Amino acid sequence: MKNIIIALLFYCPIMFCYAQEGVNNPPSDLSDITIKNFPVIDGSDSTEPLRYILACKLLGFEYAWGKSPFGGQYPNQRPNYVVPNYTGDKDDINELRYNRLLSSNTHGSFVNLIDNKVELIIAARSISRDEKVYADEKGVTLIEKPIARDALAFMVNIKNPIENLSIEQIQGIYTGDIVNWSEVGGLDCELHPYVRNANSGSQEKFETMVMAGLTIDAYKEMRVGTTMMAPYYQLDADTAGIAFTPFYYFTYISATESSKVIGVNGIAMTKDNIKNDTYPYTSHVYAAVRSDIDKSSLAYRMFEFLTTEEGQAIVEESGYVPIYTTPTAINSAEPSREHSQDPAIYDLSGRKMVSGVRKGITIKNGKKTLHR
């Protein structure tokens, strides 16, 4: 406890909402990893907790979930994030914090990997169309594989009575064919769809999984969110808005209580429905390395480790749904793309809700409560 307090005073003032012990001996195949030789890793904003917990587990540090000192007009709007309790040489710690554990967002991390500025990335999606063109121009190929499951969630203001939309209704909203909430069973008011910036992880998933070749209406600049928290802040002030976000980000990172996730095609947006693959927009979190990487390097061994039994346990500890539900270690590095399937339709009254998915958080009917 003394070490945790000292670490917090050293880095920044943090309001804790809940904590999780995070100590483990390094696995045998990565037993030579240290704070000095830790690979340079990067990734999406939404996968930052996983990357930090992975580092803590491999290096033997404790960690806790805390409140970010940045973002949000009020302290309770600030995102949650993982706070490692670093111990050891100050210069080594700073090297790890600032030069080895990077957070360049989804597109930036892919570009950094292609440019050989980082060794491993953990991203909310696979390589995008634009990034693939860039990699081809550079003569670079990547090895990528799914390591966790997530979903693209649609959310509205908590005061919006809508609890579910069909796939066709969501598509109609974003093509501009549906412009009033009354057209989909809501209040008689103008509908305000929000999108994300091009090449962001959630925008790429939205375009490929949800719209699937349909033309997205050209919205005003004010309706384009350029950060992960932007949709939350926009919905906080807009009861007529609709936006999308990774479910993991909604559940574990975002701290606003003014928005709720809604079901799609009568299937609730819950962690259980990610696990059983019934929610229509389930997706994957990916790890990626360059194909010319030294296969004996720590970065590649970490890439392989993520789909072992021990690696998947860390994925699950972070809050993600692991890829593999059996204890069998699977190390396939074959590329895999996002996929969606025709969803089965379930009666709303028969939906199984998730409660208490993580200590300190309760989710029911797509509404989130933080217990401090």
Dump pLDDT digits (tens) for 301-318: 999 999 999 999 999 999
Q: Confirm whether 213 is domain-assigned.
A: yes
Q: Confirm whether 305 is domain-assigned.
A: yes
When pLDDT is cut at 50, 70 and 90, the band that residue 106 belongs to is very high
DSSP letter at 348 equals G
Is the same domain home to 123 and 11? yes
Is the same domain home to 192 and 154? yes
Is the same domain home to 41 and 121? yes
When pLDDT is cut at 50, 70 and 90, the band that residue 73 belongs to is low
When pLDDT is cut at 50, 70 and 90, the band that residue 172 belongs to is very high
Is the same domain home to 159 and 113? no
Of 29-33, 137-141, 150-154, 355-359, which gets the smallest average pLDDT?
355-359
Of 166-175, 251-260, 360-369, which gets the smallest average pLDDT?
360-369
Task: Report, as an integer, the average pLDDT of 61-79.
Answer: 75
Is the same domain home to 245 and 125? no
Is the same domain home to 70 and 180? no
254 vs 311: CA distance, rounded Å: 25
Is residue 9 scored above 60 in pLDDT? no
Is residue 251 scored above 50 in pLDDT? yes
When pLDDT is cut at 50, 70 and 90, the band that residue 24 belongs to is very low
Query: Three-class SS string for 218-273?
Result: CCCHHHEECCCCHHHHHHHCCCCEEEEEEHHHHHHHCCCCCEEEEEECCECCCHHH
Is the same domain home to 199 and 118? no
Quick one: pLDDT at residue 2? 39
Q: Confirm whether 222 is domain-assigned.
A: yes
Is the same domain home to 308 and 163? no
Q: Domain residues for 93?
A: 2-149+283-322
What CATH number is associated with residue 250? 3.40.190.10
Is the same domain home to 7 and 134? yes
DSSP letter at 352 equals P
Domain count, the chain: 2
Identify whether the C-beta of residue 274 lies closer than 8 Å to the C-beta of residue 6.
no
Q: Confirm whether 83 is domain-assigned.
A: yes
Task: Report, as an integer, the average pLDDT of 52-57.
Answer: 97
Is the same domain home to 107 and 197? no
- 262 forms beta bridges with 154
Greatest extent of the chain over all pairs of C-alpha atoms, in Å? 62
Is the same domain home to 140 and 159? no
Percent of the chain topping pLDDT 90: 63
Is residue 167 scored above 70 in pLDDT? yes
Domain boundary among 258, 281, 304: 281
Residues 6+ apart with CB under 8 A from 112: 42, 102, 104, 118, 121
| Secondary element (H or E) of residue 153 | strand 142-157
- 150 forms beta bridges with 283
pTM: 0.77
Is the same domain home to 40 and 138? yes
Q: Confirm whether 290 is domain-assigned.
A: yes
Give the rounded distance of the alpha carbon of 11 from its chain centre.
24
Identify whether the C-beta of residue 311 lies closer than 8 Å to the C-beta of residue 24.
no
Q: Confirm whether 355 is domain-assigned.
A: no
